[in-house]
Amino acid sequence: LAKTTQPISMDSYEGQEVNITCSHNNIATNDYITWYQQFPSQGPRFIIQGYKTKVTNEVASLFIPADRKSSTLSLPRVSLSDTAVYYCLVGDRAGTASKLTFGTGTRLQVTL
């Protein structure tokens, strides 16, 4: 499975846009990129998933360049409640790649 590299931590002010980049240089052709959010002592929560180009949902956007060796999670106008750890996972769709591995996530701290 492709190994991922993310920044250990990021800081932002409330109302700003936050972009978290994940590197996955050895991503395979069948791999998808999935981002999860985790609050302390809670289970990770799915944010967004994509394969290429751009995906947008009600909470975030995911930008994937043509070579797919990296991806960027974009959180528009963050609030204090977005303070959490964000994980980038790369692998075949959940269920077909049984060993979905979490790397070292990015701890986002949002302040006033």
Binding site for another protein (CB under 8 A): 32, 34, 36, 38, 41-46, 49, 85, 87, 93-96, 98-105
Question: Using an 8 Å Cβ cutoff, are 110 and 13 in contact?
Answer: yes
C-alpha–C-alpha distance, residues 110 and 10, integer Å: 9
* Identity of the residue, 99 or 112, whose beta carbon is nearer to another protein in the bound complex: 99
CB of 59 to another protein, least distance (A): 13
Question: Using an 8 Å Cβ cutoff, are 86 and 73 in contact?
Answer: yes
CB of 96 to another protein, least distance (A): 7
* Identity of the residue, 77 or 93, whose beta carbon is nearer to another protein in the bound complex: 93
* Identity of the residue, 14 or 44, whose beta carbon is nearer to another protein in the bound complex: 44
Closest C-alpha among 48, 52, 49 to residue 60: 48
Start-to-end C-alpha separation, the chain: 38
CB of 75 to another protein, least distance (A): 18
